[in-house]
Amino acid sequence: MVYVREKYLPNLKEYKYSSVDHSLMSRYVLKPFYTHVVIKCFPMSMAPNLITLTGFAFVITNFLTLLWYNPGLDQDCPTWVYYSWAAGLFLYQTFDAVDGTQARRTRQSGPLGELFDHGVDALNTSLEVLLFAGSQNMGQSWKTVATLFASLLTFYVQTWDEYHTKTLTLGIVSGPVEGILILVGVYAMTGYMGGAHFWQQSMLATVGVPQTLSIAGTVLAIPSWLYTLSFTEWYMVQGTIVLVYNTVESARNVIRARRARGDRSRYALVGLVPFFSTWALIVAYLWLQPNILHNHLVPFVLFAGIVNAYSVGQMITAHLVQLKFPYWNVLVLPLGWGVIDSLGPVLQTHTPAPWLGWPSALGDGVYQVAFMFCMLGAAIGVYSSFVVDVIVTICDYLDIWCLTIKHPYVEGQDEQKKKEKPTTPAAVKGSNKKKQ
């Protein structure tokens, strides 16, 4: 399947990367560390995309240790596992940030780098959700699903924002910077505290806050539902606040950008519909199939993550070659069929008109599990096809390689080209006269 038509490829040469980072941590701590220390560890012969892929290998290693020690997301791991997760995620963040610096110093900056970087980040998002759930002993539950929803929405909205504003905007608090550093701290603290069970305690009671306070003779009592919230639940509350704030800010950025160009903002907001439509199906499927939710959530999270990565990849590609916004995701079709198949027996059993329902072709046992794994396999196949096709198309058109440097930069070659090639019509005319 062809994902980028040849007539749109010339738009790649008009691409210019634009970003705004409001993070104080990034500006005053991380970027100086990257540019003055870390970048010196990489040779000039190493391609920026290879740095990105190497960083992602640390996350894959973390995920494999999760599957080995805590596949149900509800057990404590050896303390060294949590420390390795913290180190792996920090290294991933570092490699992911340094690839841009490497691209600039090797003169390899271009649209492929942004596409590759976003694609890896999209895959990392769902893996980190599982790792976080494992570090909190969330188990295969709705809490893990809610965390996945928030993480994928954050990434989707950020990419949607970039498509319409043509600029990647990171706020004062953002997932790629502060969010990752918080997770690094959580993983390290989990290891220090002896396991994920620590986070299931009441946070207020653990830090010594009494449930009843006496202030100026007035007795104030903290409601039991609030006082008993665990560390994990407080983290989810904080994440919800940040999610709402960043979503609103991205929407405002898009509205301002479109109005500045004289476009209607309402059409841009429709771009959020595909995400919420997909998640309506995800929630419906898990509600109708509790066996998948409570026993096979890990592979389903991978499926949902790839579905989101495919949507995000389409958006980035459309941004690079100036295509219309991609509203359609073919991977929603098997998910929708699964919901319809599972809904029939519920209508037969729980409605006053049983004729409204229909028997399930898959049931809720082994065939349903097999179907879920088939959805995962289809998602891997479709997304892999997309990634390979787009990367090969861009590399062929720009005459570059993806993981190695095809045309190494030679110091002074830009000045030499300027001397050899006339840059103005007058210069070209003068050159022709001299030849005559």
**Rounded CA gap, 155 and 308, in Å?**
9
pLDDT digits (tens, 9 = 90+) for 9-34: 999 988 888 888 888 888 888 999 99
Mean pLDDT along residues 60-65:
97
pLDDT value for 419: 59
pLDDT value for 436: 44
- pTM here is 0.91
Q: Is the pLDDT of residue 425 over 60?
A: no
pLDDT digits (tens, 9 = 90+) for 391-419: 999 999 999 999 999 888 876 665 555 55
pLDDT value for 87: 96
pLDDT digits (tens, 9 = 90+) for 303-356: 999 999 999 999 999 999 989 999 999 999 999 999 999 999 998 888 887 778
Listed in sequence order, the residues at least 6 apart from 121 whose beta carbon sits closer than 8 Å to its beta carbon are 96, 155, 176
What angle is formed at CA 152 by the lines to CA 149 and CA 155, rounded to 5 degrees? 145
Q: Is the pLDDT of residue 217 over 80?
A: no
Give alpha helix (H) positions in 168-296.
180-192, 203-206, 224-227, 231-260, 265-269, 273-288, 290-295
* 118, 164, 294, 296: the active-site residue: 118
**Residues in a beta bridge with 202:** 230
pLDDT digits (tens, 9 = 90+) for 79-113: 999 999 999 999 999 999 999 889 989 988 889 99
**Rounded CA gap, 128 and 165, in Å?**
28
pLDDT digits (tens, 9 = 90+) for 114-162: 899 999 999 999 999 999 999 999 999 999 999 999 999 999 999 999 9
Annotated catalytic residue 164: no
Phi, psi of 169 (to 5 degrees): -110, 125
C-alpha to C-alpha distances, 130 to 49, 141, 367, 428, nearest whole angstrom: 25, 11, 25, 61
**Please, what is the average pLDDT of the chain?**
89
**Rounded CA gap, 82 and 23, in Å?**
27
**Rounded CA gap, 68 and 60, in Å?**
13
DSSP secondary structure code for residue 419 in this structure? H
**Residues in a beta bridge with 21:** 170
C-alpha to C-alpha distances, 150 to 12, 92, 241, 372, nearest whole angstrom: 32, 21, 10, 22
pLDDT digits (tens, 9 = 90+) for 224-248: 888 899 999 999 998 899 889 889 9
pLDDT value for 353: 78
Token reading at 279: 């998640």
pLDDT value for 121: 93
Listed in sequence order, the residues at least 6 apart from 422 whose beta carbon sits closer than 8 Å to its beta carbon are 428, 430, 431
What angle is formed at CA 309 by the lines to CA 67 and CA 391, rounded to 5 degrees? 110
Q: What percent of the chain clears pLDDT 70, i.e. is strictly above it?
A: 93
Amino acid, res. 253: N
User: Residue 422: is it exposed, middle or buried by C-beta count within 10 angstroms (0-12/13-18/19+)?
Assistant: middle
Burial 159-174 (b: 16+ CB within 10 A, else e): bbbbbbbeebbbbebb
DSSP secondary structure code for residue 4 in this structure? S
Token reading at 76: 């404590």
| Of 171-175, 256-260, 388-392, the least confident | 171-175
Q: Are 204 and 222 in contact (CB under 8 A)?
A: yes
62 three-class SS: helix
**Residues in a beta bridge with 19:** 168
Q: Is 178 left (phi over 0), alpha (psi -120 to 50) or beta?
A: alpha
